[in-house]
Amino acid sequence: MLSLSHNLKNQLQEALEKAFPEAVASAKKSDSPLEATLVATGKEEFGDFQVNSCFQLAKTLRKSPRDIALEIVKYLNMDPDFSEMCDPPKIAGPGFINITISKDQLIKEIRSRLTDKRLGIPFEDSSKDIEKLKPVIIDFSSPNIAKEMHVGHLRSTIIGDSLARIFEFRGYKVLRLNHVGDWGTQFGMLISHLKEVAPEALTDPNAFEISDLVKFYKEAKKRFDEDENFQDISRKEVIKLQNKDIESLNAWNLLCEQSRREFEKIYERLDINIQERGESFYNPFLKQVINDLEKDKLLVTDDGAKCIFLVDKDQNQNNLPPVIVQKRDGGFNYATTDLAAIRYRFRNSPEGDGASRLIYVTDSGQSSHFNGVFQVAKRAEWIPKGCRMEHVPFGLVLGEDGKKLKTRSGETIKLSDLLDEAIKKAKSDIRQRLQKEEREESETFIEKVGKTIGIAAVKYADLSQNRTTDYQFSYKKMLSLQGNTAPYLLYAVVRIAGIIRKGDNIQVSLREITFNEDKEWSLLRQILKLDEVIIEVEEELLPNRLCTYLFELSQIFNRFYDQMPVLKAEEPYRSSRLVLCRLTADTLKLGLSLLGINTLERM
Ligand code: ARG
């Protein structure tokens, strides 16, 4: 349950801690601290917050929960700050304390939102706290060179970008890193193969399309798996590359450049800002990783390969496959690079990023990989105190048949085709709607609105799912004007924009804002929950929470607007309701922008 305003909750917490020093002091000594027990209530009849710590305290203090509740309430009532913010608290049941924020306080909060561009979301000011200067690194998107970017990468891109936007808005320094797969045996294979079958690909950047490269890559892989001689040639090619042989390096650069151009097109369409720092960047640090691990006596040589066996929480070796950091032939792999990356990202500059938090957005198929490298990094003591690493896994993108998303002929879907299709369908929906409403609009209008809705629908469909589950990709569902979809939210913004256009300015002075209906109070309360949901997403890295919040806000708004006159209401209600309309629109716009979604004034 979301609580009403993060800020109000913090203030209440303080009042509560002041209210009953003795009780709080003893509660703090026990394992369950008092702060955990100020919870948002689900039902209006219980007020906005409930304190249920009296039950735990009862044990420690050997008194009845109700007596403790009475005592806390007595102190709360004596606190002028508390009394200004809340109605007198009520004791319910055997010892719950129900707290309702007073109407005056709610109006005060709403008024302050009107002049606050951040709508109450706190700002982590790094100029005041040097710890906050440490960047949060979000490793996302991360497609592979000479391969196509697929729907999994799309999902990572959309989720990662939204998390980055939220952290940035909160005031953190964010490093958005594209850990592209641009190193390893695959380049040896590809370059060796191209040298034979299409040497022009290695010198002329325009000789082939990316899809041709993908084809060449598949051929090379097949040869590699079947032909020992070719394996040998490929390995030698990798070594040449690693030794910075100029011809190999040029060829490699060219392949990277070509893929990069393709990726850029997608990023531009999705309005994604990301810095490329591929696997190759960490190449110079791989030997250091091995040395460090050797020094820490974590390395074991098993069948010629250097690896680390994983342990469970009691430090006993578990049955999971070990993390292999150097293969028998001396080559390094994916895990070695990720270890080098962790080490680099936490080390202070100039040999590192000095990060405070690492966030990896990939499909859940890589969970055991991250589990392994995180454990190795911890045991090697590369994680500074107070810093953390998290894997943000997500499920598969499925087609409407419930199987992995494919084209009708069974091939992987090209992302550019997928976006084109969403836009095309959005445009045809608009045309139908215009016809029904007997509206005339220009082609440029349809073009612009179609693009915005199409892209928004794809992004929102992805973000609104709990990312840990697989999600079914359906153009029809994501483009529907009904339900938890981008068009539904965009439409709410448009609807309010219309009201505000007609309602011109707010005519009463802000001091006269006043409400007298339940629907108004519900809407107001929902508006005030924005800061809480943002803090929650920052903690739990689940953007779908923000989506649910925005969807509920639109629903509550629609209920309010359907049942209550706004433009035709008497003053001061007319202006007061317009204030709620404007704040609803501002909240939706800000929330959607943090999801990477643009809004429209008309659609
Ligand atoms: N290139 C990888 C893939 O396509 C994703 C990389 C994720 N990031 C990382 N640091 N391992 O699956």
- Write the burial class of residue 56 (CB in 10 Å: 0-12 exposed, 13-18 middle, 19+ buried): buried
Best mutation site among 145, 343, 366 for ligand 1, i.e. most ligand atoms within 8 A of its Cβ? 366
CA angle 261, 331, 305 (to 5 degrees): 140
pLDDT score, position 534: 97
Residue 209: CA count within 13 A, CB half-sphere = 4
Among 179, 256, 367, which residue has the most ligand 1 atoms within 8 Å of its CB, making it the best to mutate? 179
139 lines ligand 1 (CB under 6 A): yes
Give this prediction's pTM.
0.93
69, burial (CB in 10 Å: exposed 0-12, middle 13-18, buried 19+):
buried
Is the CB of 179 within 6 Å of ligand 1? yes
- Answer whether 147 contacts ligand 1 (Cβ < 6 A): no
Q: How far apart are the first and last CA of the chain?
A: 33
Report residues of the chain scoring pLDDT below 50.
Answer: 36
Residue nearest to atom 4 of ligand 1 (CA): 143
Query: Looking at residue 48, what is its pLDDT?
Result: 93
Q: Which long-range contacts (CB under 8 A, 24 or more apart) does 288-293 make?
A: 288/340, 288/343, 289/325, 289/336, 289/339, 289/340, 289/343, 290/325, 290/326, 290/336, 292/343, 292/380, 292/382, 293/325, 293/339, 293/376, 293/380
Instruction: Give me the phi and psi of 19, to 5 degrees please.
Output: -65, -30
List the one residue out of 231, 346, 339, 323 whose CA is nearest residue 283: 339
User: Where are the chain's structural domains?
Assistant: 6-101, 185-262
Antiparallel, parallel or unpaired: β 357-363 and 136-139: parallel
Query: Does the domain made of 6-101 have the CATH classification 3.30.1360.70?
Result: yes
Strands 174-178 and 136-139 come out as parallel
What's the CA-to-centroid distance between 361 and ligand 1, angstroms? 8
Look at residue 444 in the predicted model and tell me its pLDDT.
97
Query: What per-residue confidence (pLDDT) applies to 508?
Result: 64
Report the pLDDT value the prediction gives residue 36, as an integer from 0 to 100. Answer: 45
User: In whole angstroms, what is the distance from residue 160 CA to residue 467 CA?
Assistant: 11
186 lines ligand 1 (CB under 6 A): no
CA distances from 371 to 291, 335, 360, 378 (A): 21, 11, 11, 11
For ligand 1, the distance from its centroid to the CA atom of residue 466, given in whole angstroms, is 21
C-alpha span between 178 and 159 (Å, rounded):
13
**From the CB of 372, is ligand 1 less than 6 Å away?**
no
**Closest by CA position to 94, among listed 64, 59, 74:** 64
Q: Whose CA is nearest to atom 8 of ligand 1?
A: 179
Nearest CA to ligand 1 atom 9: 179
For the CA of 153, the closest atom of ligand 1 is 4
- Residue 182 beta carbon below 6 angstroms from any ligand 1 atom: no
Q: What spacing in Å lies between the alpha carbon of 25 and ligand 1's midpoint?
A: 48
Phi, psi (5° rounding) for residue 332? Answer: -100, 165
Q: Which residues, at least 6 apart from 123, have a Cβ–Cβ distance to it below 8 Å?
A: 170, 171
Residue 180 phi, psi (nearest 5): -70, 145
Measured CA to CA, the distance from residue 556 to residue 521 in angstroms comes to: 10
pLDDT of the residue at 28:
61
Residue 200 Cα to ligand 1 middle (Å): 29
Alpha carbon 129 to chain centroid, angstroms: 24
Q: How many angstroms does the Cα of residue 387 sit away from the middle of ligand 1? A: 21
The residue type found at 528 is L
Q: Rounded to an integer, what distance in angstroms lies between the CA atom of residue 394 and that of residue 151?
A: 12
Q: List CB contacts of 280: < 8 A, sequence separation 6 or more.
A: 182, 183
pLDDT in the model for residue 127: 72
Q: Look at residues 292, 322, 316, 594 and name the one whose alpha carbon lies nearest to residue 460.
A: 594
| Cα 247 versus chain centre, distance | 41
Residues forming a β-bridge with 393? 362
Q: How far is CA 198 from CA 213, 216, 218, in A?
A: 10, 9, 14
Tally DSSP H helices, then E strands, for the chain: 22, 14
**Whether 50 contacts 97, CB under 8 Å:** yes
- Please give the number of the atom of ligand 1 that sits closest to the Cα of 362: 7
Of 441, 449, 545, nearest in space to 490 by CA: 449
Residue 539 CB contacts under 8 Å (≥ 6 apart), including other chains? none
Is residue 595 within 8 Å of residue 459, measured between CB atoms?
Answer: yes
